[in-house]
Chain A
């Protein structure tokens, strides 16, 4: 066996060690010279955001929103799902005054389920509301009613929706973070956002059709008879394009309108066909960590 010369080992060690030292020095110099200034606050804000990347704020994800807030392009109250806590935390980080944000929840303003609403034909195509809506104006006789193919369910970033057996989407009020993504995905604009703690009456219909065609298409649709607007002591109900709309700020839940509505279109949440059901809730912050 040949003897290993110490010189050779030494040379190799010195050469590699020397190279390592030179590159190390170069890199540390480069890191100082070309350093990118990072706003620490961006990271802190990202930490307090829910991290669901739902897009409700109008930005691609939570990080983008954090950057926008720091640079002053976005409103501190922009994160709807985060709610009050997140807003106050962001304000603390930025050293700003708190902003009032009303937590919201989604409601499906249609109660014409499979058994109730009239269907014009059997639809056997692409299982998407957006696509079905384009086929001869949709398979429901009501051009404003829920098609029940679940575009909103698929879109919900919080897993707070599921399609009920009756063909109407179910929303778990507790899991709903009020981001409004479902409302944007609904091709018929049936889903509306209301204050989270609202428990009073709503007109569970979205039809702008005239009375006769509404009644033909759906026995629980608002036919625009105006009985409710006259009955409401708070004057909270107005007519918009043949549809009664309840002002959620004025309604005190007395129920006069419910008694007057012959169609049975006015209900409190939980009384409609699409009754709210508990869904397994995603623990957002825990998911993130």
Chain B
């Protein structure tokens, strides 16, 4: 089976060769972690610990009653020294639990294997394990995994797609995960298929990762209902709507979700985390991330504890070069540039990218010349030039009429705009305004 390309998209330079052959290595155990109570889409958690409490690795320290949320666990053992608002990669200050390590790295007694195999477990039980382990989408958006896996009963789900596209340039953490633990990825996929009761499992991988395709194919051959689909290398191939369109030709309707076309998507990293949660009872307390870019002295793929300060991670990679001037959390297309490095790495942090002066261009914003390049590349078939202008001028009704809310914020329009117009920023702003108006 070969996937067709979706409409639109761009071809940014990959830069993946820098780290794609480096295996994931464990990072140094941090002496202090900052664990924000909001690391996912949905309701923030309330801290379950108090200042002065001793915590162990894997102990639950934050939870909430809200359905769209995921509990949060301590990633090191030690003492809670503060619970206060702390810098967050989103730019806001978020209530965080700060833990000083005691150096023992002692695991909590809560963390233990369930003592049952997946075959013996009910779907509900598996779902509960996934929720309690605090697993969220690890591709970057950090949507709680158990919410995605509990579609309303009227939605007929027939396919589970595992996203191994990793279309963002520079990042290689998913790539390495597939090569280093293909068995775990497939185990997680099978468990999720059982939860959803679906027969088809598809793993989509971009063609620029032939070794990952080969490894995963070898694993998938052992299973009757799992196939690996090579995908054309194209950004944003890893966006779930694009992935579905490329793999089974279904288009998610405007305002809809993948489940409206019978599909649930999960990232390969999430699948592996789910496998670890089911087999070992291990909650999501660490994740692989890529530290890369021309501005970093020793690029690496690191297994990092959640809450490790980004500055420390960069120091572990022998620091930044002198001409480094921009640090992005995530990939270069959708990631967020950071004003400071005293921020924690979260469950959804897929990479730390350090760019140098020569890689960054500052250009003046010019008038739209109506070349329609943005319209050509928009994978959602929107008109970014119109939406951008609506955002610039604050025209909420116009933006809504032109389906601003369907924008996936992939950044293709800004990438191709010859007039250097910050289209994605404008659309993001107007989307927030539309949402705010709807809430009223």
B232 at interface, CB cutoff 8 A? no
The residues in A between 132 and 175 inclusive whose CB is less than 8 angstroms from any CB of B are 134-137, 139
Main secondary structure of the interface of A (DSSP, over half): loop
A122 at interface, CB cutoff 8 A? yes
Question: Given A135-B91, A137-B91 in contact, is the A126-B340 Cβ separation under 8 Å?
Answer: no
Distance of B232 from chain A, by nearest CB (Å): 31
Given contacts A122-B362, A136-B336, 10 further A-B contacts (CB under 8 A): A121-B337, A124-B362, A125-B422, A126-B426, A127-B365, A134-B432, A135-B91, A135-B425, A137-B91, A139-B339
A184 at interface, CB cutoff 8 A? no
Distance of A198 from chain B, by nearest CB (Å): 33
By beta carbon, the residue of chain B nearest A120 is: B339
A131 at interface, CB cutoff 8 A? yes
Question: Are the CB atoms of B339 and A131 closer together than 8 Å?
Answer: no
Among A122, A134, A136, the residue within 8 A (CB) of B429 is A134
Produce 1/0 per residue, A101-127, CB < 8 A to B.
000000000000000000011101111
B92 at interface, CB cutoff 8 A? yes
The residues in B between 337 and 371 inclusive whose CB is less than 8 angstroms from any CB of A are 337-340, 362, 365
B392 at interface, CB cutoff 8 A? yes
Distance of A90 from chain B, by nearest CB (Å): 33
Distance of A141 from chain B, by nearest CB (Å): 9
Tell me the complex Cα distance, A120–B338, Å: 10
Q: Which residues of B contact A130 (CB under 8 A)?
A: 394
Distance of B415 from chain A, by nearest CB (Å): 14
Question: Are the CB atoms of A136 and B392 closer together than 8 Å?
Answer: no
Q: What number of B residues sit within 8 Å (CB to CB) of A?
A: 18
Tell me the complex Cα distance, A136–B362, Å: 19
Distance of A186 from chain B, by nearest CB (Å): 15
Q: Which residues of B contact A121 (CB under 8 A)?
A: 337, 339
A64 at interface, CB cutoff 8 A? no
Q: Which residues of B contact A127 (CB under 8 A)?
A: 365
A128 at interface, CB cutoff 8 A? yes
Among B339, B394, B426, the residue within 8 A (CB) of A136 is B339
By beta carbon, the residue of chain B nearest A122 is: B362
Q: Which residues of A contact B432 (CB under 8 A)?
A: 134
Cross-chain pairs A/B with CB under 8 angstroms, 6 sampled: A124-B362, A131-B425, A134-B432, A135-B91, A137-B91, A137-B92
Q: Which residues of A contact B91 (CB under 8 A)?
A: 135-137
Tell me the complex Cα distance, A136–B391, Å: 18
Tell me the complex Cα distance, A64–B313, Å: 62
Q: Which residues of A contact B336 (CB under 8 A)?
A: 136
Q: Which residues of A contact B340 (CB under 8 A)?
A: 120
Q: Which residues of B contact A134 (CB under 8 A)?
A: 429, 432
Tell me the complex Cα distance, A254–B370, Å: 60
Distance of A209 from chain B, by nearest CB (Å): 13
Question: Are the CB atoms of B337 and A131 closer together than 8 Å?
Answer: no
Distance of B130 from chain A, by nearest CB (Å): 32
Tell me the complex Cα distance, A135–B362, Å: 17
Tell me the complex Cα distance, A130–B432, Å: 13
Q: Which residues of B contact A131 (CB under 8 A)?
A: 425-426, 429
Tell me the complex Cα distance, A126–B429, Å: 10
Distance of A107 from chain B, by nearest CB (Å): 26
Q: Which residues of B contact A126 (CB under 8 A)?
A: 365, 391-392, 422, 425-426, 429
By beta carbon, the residue of chain A nearest B414 is: A125
Q: Which residues of A contact B392 (CB under 8 A)?
A: 126, 128
Tell me the complex Cα distance, A125–B420, Å: 10
Distance of A158 from chain B, by nearest CB (Å): 21
Q: Which residues of A contact B92 (CB under 8 A)?
A: 137
The residues in A between 2 and 52 inclusive whose CB is less than 8 angstroms from any CB of B are none
Tell me the complex Cα distance, A24–B198, Å: 80
By beta carbon, the residue of chain A nearest B428 is: A134
Tell me the complex Cα distance, A136–B340, Å: 10
Tell me the complex Cα distance, A139–B91, Å: 11
Q: Which residues of A contact B394 (CB under 8 A)?
A: 130
In the A-B complex, the 9 residue pairs with the smallest Cβ-Cβ separation, listed nearest first, are: A136-B91, A121-B339, A120-B339, A125-B422, A125-B425, A126-B422, A124-B362, A126-B425, A136-B339
Tell me the complex Cα distance, A88–B242, Å: 66
Distance of B281 from chain A, by nearest CB (Å): 37
Q: Which residues of A contact B425 (CB under 8 A)?
A: 125-126, 131, 135
Q: Which residues of B contact A137 (CB under 8 A)?
A: 91-92
Tell me the complex Cα distance, A128–B421, Å: 13
Q: Which residues of A contact B362 (CB under 8 A)?
A: 122, 124
Distance of B395 from chain A, by nearest CB (Å): 14
Distance of B100 from chain A, by nearest CB (Å): 23
By beta carbon, the residue of chain B nearest A139 is: B339
